[in-house]
Amino acid sequence: MKLNNISLKTMKRGLVVLLIAAMLPVAFTQTNSYFEISKNLDIYASLYKELNTYYVDEVQPSDLMRQGIDGMLNSLDPYTSYISEAEIEGYRMQTTGKYGGIGALVRKVDRYITISEPYEGYAANKAGLLAGDKLLKIDGTSVIDKETNDISSLLKGQAGTNTTLLILRTLADGTEKEMEVVVTREDIKIKNVPYYGMINTEIGYIRLSNFTDDAGKEVHDALEDLKSKNPTLKSLVFDLRGNPGGLLAEAVNVSNVFVDKNQEIVSTRGKVNEWDKTFKTLNNAVDTQIPIAVLVNRGSASASEIVAGSLQDLDRAVIVGQRSFGKGLVQTTRNLPYNTKLKITTAKYYTPSGRCIQALDYAHKDENGYAAKTPDSLKVAFKTAGGRTVYDGAGIDPDLEVEGTPVNKITMSLINKNYIFHYATIYRAKNPTIAAAKDFKLSDKDYQDFVAYLNGKEYDYATESEELLKELESTTKDEKYYDAIAAELKKLKDNVMHDKSNDLTKHKEEIKKVLEDEIVSRYYYSTGRIMVSFNYDEDIQTALKVLNNPNQYKQILTAKK
């Protein structure tokens, strides 16, 4: 049956009406949103102008605006931030690992900004600066009582320029001497892989500290070098502890070292559908079979979790340590006027099994402004390639959890009071050389020298028992029972009152480990710290046990949960 012209026109009109009706809610929503944006921008600009014109005291327009911007962004998540023109260099350093400077870590120790570690082979090291050197002046400007942030711009600068440092150095007899040191700044590239080597004849080790440019290449080259120089290499410890993450693309490249090409590593999904992406490996792996124990802890975040999560989902490695941080958000940098930038969270990322490990929900905050944690009851189960159960919502759970031994209060007190740091400085001044990092042991005589060094120094602390008794005393006073138990309470306090000299003996082995770590770093830098940790690090010891037990390793990766 043919439609006549009248009925055809009628149908067309009806279709147009239906289309317009369907579009009205969207159009209205968009128009309303644009109006709200325009309205609030107008209010904000007018308020800003009125404050600047009429406020009783002088205001700095740029400071006022920055506080407004920061306040706005702080209502979202901690990863969305404004980068001013003055902060661009620091941002570039975070993404590239490069900057112009002297190449040294500094920290505040008492009143002084102090060299805590010169980077081996870089400008500060070449100029003879040592860990423990106190900075008095930088190019004639006093830096005593300054904070590390205050002097960062003084130490950094264009490669090839000189900076003159007046330092205070500890000598072998314990006295201090002022010295002037001229350092020629250079381009510093912080390595993503600060160390790799063999723990023993069969097990290799790679530490990855960042995910800046070339992280994947550095891990690739490290494993290739270990394999070529150590034909007895059978397995690998891959250390991601304390790694805060970085470039997502480098997380894919790092995973590609152990996983062959065309394998999905991570996908991202956000508000703008066109930006949703799936990231797959592009190259041939270095080794798809070598057994791997990946170390993670609460400081392993973002790109670290992509690598650990993908290797876990693909049943490619056993994860050892503590639950990771839980950052499943992706940031993109958008250019703004006047050489400024906005780093903005644009998506969430998902590991190959489909899970997002974001631990905090910044879209739902409590009355105090704290983001809500994902409760265990709401975590969703996913399956690895081999059928093992893994969960979303709170970081990467290790396959082998290591609780770790808590550090005793006396050790923490000695660290916090900087006595460990200062003694290492004195030890280095007295002893020009020591044994190799792996072999170095502090003798009993040296330990007694440390105990003598502490004589007369204040490093008091309260044990847990003392704190509990203090709490009990306060409670009994509030509840009017104190008089009845005062005598017994005093006896208890006398019995548990710690003897500092006795605690130095009781916890000798733990304190010696911390001392050895700090002393070794004065001779062998960060490499030495890592190597000496092989002897006592609980995560590493757990990793060695599972790698030395092929049956357990296989069972973990094939067990159904």
Token pair for 472: 């009990």
Separation of alpha carbons 303 and 452, rounded Å: 46
Amino acid at 223: L
Name the active-site residue from 313, 399, 446, 539.
313
Contact 185, 163 (CB under 8 A): yes
Coil, strand or helix at 37:
helix
DSSP assignment string, 475-523: HHHHTT-HHHHHHHHHHHHHHH---HHHHHHHTHHHHHHHHHHHHHHHH
SS percent in the chain: helix, strand, coil, step 5: 45, 20, 35
CB environment 165-195: b (16+ within 10 A), e (fewer): bbbbbbeeeeeeeeeebebebbebbbbbbbb
CB environment 325-349: b (16+ within 10 A), e (fewer): bbbbbbbeeeeeeeebbbbbbbbeb
Q: Which helix (H) or strand (E) holds 138?
A: strand 134-138
Whether residue 508 lies in the annotated active site: no
195-198/186-189 β-pairing: unpaired
Amino acid at 398: P
Name the active-site residue from 327, 399, 533, 539.
327
Token pair for 550: 């092929």
What is the maximum span of the chain, computed from C-alpha positions, in angstroms? 111
Cβ neighbours of 104 (radius 10 Å): 21
Separation of alpha carbons 107 and 109, rounded Å: 6
Comparing C-alpha atoms, which of 417, 406, 412 is closest to residue 453? Answer: 417
Angle subtended by helix axes 464-478 and 482-496, to nearest 10 = 170
Supply φ then ψ for residue 400, to 5 degrees. Answer: -125, 105
CA distances from 532 to 346, 362, 395, 439, 515 (A): 41, 40, 29, 8, 11
Strand locations in 175-298 (E): 176-184, 186-189, 195-198, 203-207, 235-239, 264-270, 277-280, 292-296
Comparing C-alpha atoms, which of 313, 308, 290 is closest to residue 241? Answer: 308
Whether residue 302 lies in the annotated active site: yes
Amino acid at 75: S
Token pair for 553: 């390793």
What is the phi-psi region of residue 509: left when phi exceeds 0, alpha when psi lies from -120 to 50, beta otherwise?
Answer: alpha
Separation of alpha carbons 151 and 312, rounded Å: 42
Task: Count H helices and E strands in the chain, helices first.
Answer: 17, 23
Name the active-site residue from 302, 304, 310, 521.
302
Q: Which helix (H) or strand (E) holds 136?
A: strand 134-138
Contact 112, 135 (CB under 8 A): yes
Q: Provide the annotated active-site residues.
A: 302, 313, 327
